[in-house]
Structure 1
Amino acid sequence: MRPDLEREYVEYVQARLPRLHRTAYLLCADAFQADDIVQATLTALYVNWKRAAGADNLDGYVHRIMMRRYLDERRRGWSKVLLGDRLPEQSAPVDHAVEERDALVTALRSLPRGQRAVVVLRYFGDLSVEATAEALGCSTGNVKSQCSRGLAALREALDGRQSVTVAQGGRDRS
Structure 2
Amino acid sequence: MEADSRFAEFVAERGDALLRYGYVLAGNPHDAADLVQEALLKLRAAWPRVRLKENPESYARTTMARLHVAAWRLRRREQPAWDLPERAHHDALPSGDEQAMWRALAGLPRRQRAVLVLRYYEQLSDAEIAGVLGISRETVRSQASRALDKLRAAVPEGNGSGRGPRSGERAAARTGRVR
Query: With structure 2 as the length reference, what TM-score do the two structures score?
Result: 0.66
Partner of 1:97: 94
For 2:63, give the aligned amino acid. Answer: I
Is 1:156 aligned to 2:171, yes or no? no
- Percent identity over paired residues: 34
Question: After TM superposition, what 4+ stretches of structure 1 lie above 6 angstroms from structure 2?
Answer: none
Runs of 5+ consecutive residues of structure 2 not aligned to the other structure: 160-179
Aligned length: 157
Aligned Cα root-mean-square deviation (Å): 3.5
Deviation at 1:96, TM superposition (A): 4.7
The match for 2:16 is: 18
Q: Does 1:41 align with 2:30?
A: no
Q: Which protein has greater RCO, CA pairs closer than 8 Å, 6+ apart? A: 1
Gaps of 5+ in 1: 164-174
**Aligned residue identity for 2:47:** W
Decide whether aligned partners of structure 1 residues 49 and 120 sit closer, same or farther in structure 2, where only a CA change above 3 A counts.
same
Give the drift of 1:99.
4.0
Which entry has the higher C-alpha Rg, 1 or 2? 1
Q: Structure 1 length as normaliser, TM-score? A: 0.68
- Residues of 1 paired with 2:6 and 2:108: CA distance? 36
Structure with the higher fraction of residues in helix conformation: 1
Aligned with residue 4 of structure 2, among 3, 6, 16:
6
SS at match of 1:114: helix
- Which amino acid in the other structure matches residue 159 of structure 1? P
